[in-house]
Amino acid sequence: MIKKVFDSSVIKHPVKSLVFLLIGIAFLAYYSTKLEIDASAETLLLENDKDLQFSREVSKLYHNPDFLIVSFTPKDDLLSEKTLKIIKNISDDFLQIENIASITSILNVPLLQSPVQEISKLIGNIKTLENNQDVNKELVKKEFLNSEIYRDSLVSKDFKTTAIVLNLKINEEFFDFIEKRNTLLEKKKANSITKKELNELEKIEIEFKKFRDEQRQQNNKDIQDIRKIIEKYENEGKLFLGGVNMIADDIISFVKNDLIIYGSSLIVILMIVLWIIFRQVIWILLPLFICTLSVISTTGALGYFSWEVTVISSNFIALQLIITISIVLHLIVRYNELNRKYKHASQYKLVITTLLSKLSPSFFAIITTVAGFGSLVLSGIQPVKNLGWMMSTGILISLFISFIVFPTILILLKKLDINKTPKLKLNLISYCKKAVEKKGSMIILIAAILMFFSLTGASKLLVENSFINYFKESTQIYKGMKVIDEKLGGTTPLDIIITFKDKKEEKIDEPVVDDEFSSFEDEFAQTKDEEQYWFTKDKMDTILRVHNYLENIEEIGKVQSLATLLKVGKTLNNNKELDGISLALLYKELPEEYKKMILSPYINIEHNQARINTRIIDSNPKLRRDELIKKINTELPEVINSSNVEFRLSNLMILYNNMLQSLFDSQIKTLGFVISILFIMFLILFRSFKIAIIALLANIIPISIIFGIMGWLEIPLDIMTITIAAISIGIGVDDTIHYIHRFHEEYKKDHNYIEAMKRSHESIGYAMTYTSLVIIIGFSILVLSNLIPTIYFGLLTVVVMVTVLSSDILLLPRLLILFKPYENKKKGII
C-alpha cells in the first residue's frame, strides 16, 4: 500500500512532486514574513490568573504607571551646580520623548526636611532643588541620605549615584481593551455569549493585537531614543537604563540576534561536520536543503496561525533542526548501507527500500516525539502552549518534507558511488560493542548509580526566574540592573494591598466629647469631606507594623508606603507621631504634584485601602521567590493581628511566580501522563510488554540525569530550562525506536542477541552517533549568546544528546540482551 503510494505519487513523478511541494512551501514562505517576536510581560503571565486581574485593578486604582529608571553616577559631587545642570538637561531631553509623562529626580522631589519646619508652614512653602537655588545643600544632602522617602531609592548610600525616574504615560486604551476582552471571554467560557458578542470578541482580539504590536514598536523606539540621549551624556558620568519595559525590549533584540547570527553559524557548522562524516557534497547539500525547507514551512505555519515567538519558544528553530537532521541522517546512513550491501541494485530499488525500511520507525518516532512536546500544550501559559503546538507542527512538517524531498532528489540523480566503509570510522562504536558484550553488569551498575545521583539532585531543583541572571555580566543591561538592584532599592516590584473592613467614615482618633464637635463633624459631612476622618490610629499602626516587618526581610530592598510619610512626619512634628488631624491636613492641602509622589500612590480612601510598595533585590543569591511569598503570607496575619484587616500580595513578583509554579506543576503532573502515553505507544508499536518497559527505562534515565545535573549544579528551572524534559523525551524516543527496530531485524537473521547487537551498532549505531555528533557540535555555539537562558539551552541540549546516545547504545542493548524479549516470538515488530 505504502509502496504503491510512493511509487505512483513520488518516485514515478519526482519533478512534479518536488514542484508541487515547493509551491506549497512558497505559499508558507509568504506567511513566514509575518512571524513576530514578543517578549513583553504579557507573554509570561497565566491566562485567567485572578492575581493578574487584581494587579491590573491595583495599577488603575493607584494610578501606578510603568516606569524606567536611569541610574546616574556623575564625575562631580551629586549636588554640584554642574551635576544639577546635567540632570536638568538630560531630563528635558527625556521629556521630548512622547511616551514619557513626567520625570522624578533629585531636582523636583519635595524637600521636607531642608530645613525641618512645622507641617502647617511646610505645606504652603515646599521647596525643591529646581525652584529654590538658595536652599542649604548640606541639609539637602542630609535629607536625601536619611529620609525614609529618598534613601536607597532616589540616591545611593554613598551619595554617588542617583535615580532619574521616567514615568511613562498610562495607556487607558490598553485597560479598556483588556476589560472588554475579559468580559466577553468570561461569557464565552460560561457559554452565555451571543453571536453578536462573539463577533465583537473576534474584532476586539484583532484590534488588540494590532494595538499591542503598535505599542511594542513604540516601546522599542522609546528605548532606542532614551539610549541615544544616554550616549549623548556618557562623558559626564556613568548612566545605565533599567526597568521592565527595557528588559522586554532587550530580550527581543537578543532573541532576534540569536536567530540571525547563530542560525547562520549553525548552518556553517553543520556543513563542516557533515563533510567530515560523509565527504560527499550531496550529503551536505541535501540535509541542509531539507532543513531549510522545513524551517521555512514551519515559520510560515507559525505566521499563518499567528503563533508568536517568545523567550520560551525562541529556540524552536534549533529544536526543529535537531529533529530534521535526525530523520535525514537515518535515511542517509540506511541508503549508504544498502548501497554498499547491494552493489548492483538500481537507484530506484535503493531509494524505495530506504524509504520503506525507515518510514515505519520514523513515523512512530515522530508521533512519540509529538507526544513528548504535546505535554507543553497542557500548560496554562499561552507561550508554552504555543511552543507545544509549534514543535508538534514543525516535527510533522519535517517528517513529510524529508520523505518527499529525499527520494525525489535522489531518484533524479545517478546512483552514488560509495566506498565500502564510512569515511568517518568511529572507535566509539567498537568500544560500545565490547562494553555491552563484556561489561554488561558494569553498565547496569553505572545506570543505577546515575539514577541515585539523579533522584538526589532532582530533590534540590529550584524554581526561579531572575531577569538579571538572563544576561551576561559584561552586558550593559546587566550592569544597569545591578546598579539599580543594589544601590537604588531593587528591581522586581511586590505590593501588599491592605483593606480595612471598618467603615471609612469613622472619626479620626480624637473622641467625641461634646455637641460642639458633633456639629463640627456634621459640617464636614455636609461638605462631603468625610475622607479626612479616614486616618485613624489603628490604621496608621497597622500600616507601620507591616512596613517595618517588610523592611526587615533581607531579600526586600526599598519599602514605600504611608508609613514612609509617617516617619518623616514624626521628624517634622518634634519627634511626635502625626495624629489624624495632621494627616488629614496633609492629604487635603498638599499640592497635587507632590501628593502624587508621596501620598496618592499609597492610599485609596474610597476603597478603604493602603498600598505598601516594595522592590525585590533580584540579584540576591539567597532569594527564593516562592518561599518568600509563602513566608509573607504566613507571617503577615500575626503582624497585622486584626480580624478587621485583610491583605493581598500583588504586582509582577506574584504574577511571575504564579507562572513559574504553574509551569512546574503542569510539567511534573504531565510528565507522568506523557510517560504513561509513551508506554502505551511502545506497547502498540512493539506489541511486547518487556520491550515497552525496556524502551521506557532507556528514556527515563536520560531525563532523570538532566534534572539531577540541574539540581546539583543549582541551575534553576525557569521559563526556558523547564521545557528540557519535553526536549529529552523528544530526542530520546527517536533513537530508541530506531535502535529497537533495527535490533529486531538483525536478531531475526540468526536469533543471536550478541551478534544482533554488534550488527545494530555497525548500522543504526552510526546514524545515531552521527546525529548526536552533528547536534552536539552545532549547538555548542549557543554558549556565545548574550542571553543566559540560550546558553543553558545549548549546554543542556548537548548533555541531553550525550545521555540519550549513551543510554541507547549502552543501556538499551544491554537490557535487550539481559531480558531477551524476542525468545519464542514468531511475529515481528513494527
pLDDT of residue 231: 93
Predicted model pTM: 0.77
Q: Over the stretch 641-661, which tens digit does the pLDDT of each residue have? A: 888 999 999 988 998 888 888
Find out whether 168 and 245 touch, Cβ atoms under 8 Å. yes
Name the more confident of 289 and 514: 289
Kindly report the number of other CB atoms within 10 A of residue 169's CB atom. Answer: 12
Residues 66-121: pLDDT tens digits?
888 999 999 999 999 999 999 999 999 999 998 899 999 999 998 888 888 877 77
The reply to whether 118 and 6 lie within a common domain is no
How is the chain split among helix, strand and coil, in percent rounded to 5? 65, 10, 25
For 751-773, write each residue's pLDDT tens digit: 999 999 999 998 888 888 888 88
The last residue of a domain, from among 598, 617, 650: 650
Residue range 338-349: average pLDDT? 86
Select from 169, 119, 54 the least CA-distant residue to 652: 54
| 284-288, 595-599, 685-689, 701-705: the lowest-pLDDT one | 595-599
**Cα–Cα distance between 38 and 36 in angstroms, integer?**
7
* 682-692 pLDDT tens trace: 888 888 999 99
Q: Cell digits for 250?
A: 532587550
Tell me: do 604 and 563 sit in the same domain: yes
Spatial distance between the Cα atoms of 651 and 672, rounded to a whole number of angstroms: 33
Grid coordinates given for 595: 501628593
Tell me: do 529 and 567 sit in the same domain.
Answer: yes
Q: Which domain holds residue 781?
A: 2-40+248-459+658-819
Q: Are 10 and 367 in contact (CB under 8 A)?
A: no
Q: Does residue 575 sit within a domain?
A: yes
**pLDDT tens digits for 403-424?**
999 999 999 888 877 664 455 5
Whether 809 is covered by a domain: the verdict is yes
Same domain, 164 and 32: no
Q: Quote the number of domains for the chain.
A: 4
128 and 184 assigned to the same domain: no
Asked whether residue 337 falls in the same domain as residue 378, the answer is yes
Shared domain for 13 and 116, answered yes or no, is no
Same domain, 715 and 734: yes
Q: Which of 148, 169, 190 is the last residue of a domain?
A: 169
Residue partners of 197: CB distance under 8 A and separation at least 6:
184, 187
pLDDT of residue 443: 93
Say what the alpha-carbon torsion angle 220, 225, 226, 227 is, to the nearest 10 degrees: 90
Q: How confident is the model at residue 43 (pLDDT cuts 50, 70, 90)?
A: low
Angle between helices 724-750 and 812-819 (to 10 degrees): 50
Is 687 within a domain?
A: yes
| Same domain, residue pair 528 and 620 | yes
Q: Looking at the domain assignment, is residue 131 inside a domain?
A: yes
Residue 827 lies in a domain: no
**What CATH number does residue 397 fall under?**
1.20.1640.10
HEC-encoded secondary structure of 150-210: CECCCECCCCCCEEEEEEECCCHHHHHHHHHHHHHHHHHHCCCCCHHHHHHHHHHHHHHHH
Position 59 in a domain: no
CA distance 195 to 755: 67
Q: Tell me what pLDDT residue 116 has.
A: 83
Q: Does 441 lie in the same domain as 342?
A: yes
Counting residues of the chain whose pLDDT is more than 90, the rounded percentage is 28
Domain annotation covers residue 33: yes
pLDDT tens digits along 502-530 = 654 444 444 444 444 444 445 444 434 55
683 shares its domain with 799: yes
Per-residue b or e along 745-773, where b marks 16 or more CB atoms closer than 10 Å to that residue's CB:
bbbeeeeebeebbbbbbebbbbbbbbbbb
Q: What is the DSSP letter of 118?
A: -
Same domain assignment for residues 567 and 455: no
Decide if 477 is inside a domain.
no
Instruction: Round to whole Å and give the CA distance between 58 and 651.
Output: 8
Domain boundary among 612, 628, 650: 650
- pLDDT band of residue 42 (cuts 50, 70, 90) is low
Q: Does the pLDDT value for residue 631 go beyond 80?
A: yes
Question: Which residues is 500 bridged to in the sheet?
Answer: 645
End-to-end CA distance of the chain: 16
Q: Which of 764, 771, 762 is nearest to 740 (CA)?
A: 764
